[in-house]
Amino acid sequence: MTGLIHVYTGNGKGKTTAALGLCLRALGRGYTVHFIQFMKGSPDYGEIKAAKAFKDLHIKQFGRAGFVDKAHPTEADVRLAQEGLDHAGKVMESLPADGREVLMVLDELNVALEFGLLSMDQVLALIRHKPKELELVITGRNAPPWIIEVADYATEMREIMHPFTKGIKARKGIEF
């Protein structure tokens, strides 16, 4: 099977959730799933807890527990994003040659790009080295046009209404 590239972007809720839904479907069909989170470092996300139930779902975080300051990212933020990209490359290099299907999600990669934690050249180099069988998903707001251009699927989540505007804070199991 030829692996394709998916992009989930936009200002609405559901990009990571859509990627996790695809992961669940792929796991049900015998895929191995590598879910690499950029800019997220808290073990309190529901997907981190749920991953323990699936032997073929490997979630790894490359971020700190707090938010990254877009105007002033720290050296640690840049280092962690680079480690995430390096990890993705190593996973790609180590994929089994037995024909088993593999799905990789680069969660919040678009945001890491927007914040200047990674460069276009670095990400394009990774995409160019994607094994042809690997299904690749890239999530995050504000996908740059060049990410959309390399995609086979591009979906934009558009916020129409969100409870945050009514003062309702993020809820466990729904937003995280």
Q: Give the start-to-end residue ranges of the domains of the chain.
A: 5-166
Average pLDDT over the chain reads 95
pLDDT single digits (tens) 86-113? 999 999 999 877 778 999 999 999 999 9
pLDDT at 176: 84
Q: What is the pTM of this model?
A: 0.93
Whether pLDDT at 152 is above 80: yes
In the CATH scheme, what is the code of domain 5-166?
A: 3.40.50.300
Average pLDDT, stretch 17-45?
96
Percent of the chain as helix, strand, coil, to the nearest 5: 35, 20, 45
Measured at the CA of 96, the angle between CA 5 and CA 100, to 5 degrees, comes to 65
C-alpha distances in Å from residue 176, one per residue of 92, 126, 149, 169, 172: 27, 28, 30, 11, 5
If you average pLDDT over residues 55-60, what whole number do you get? 96
The model's confidence at residue 126, banded by pLDDT at 50, 70 and 90, is very high
Write down the pLDDT at residue 172. Answer: 83
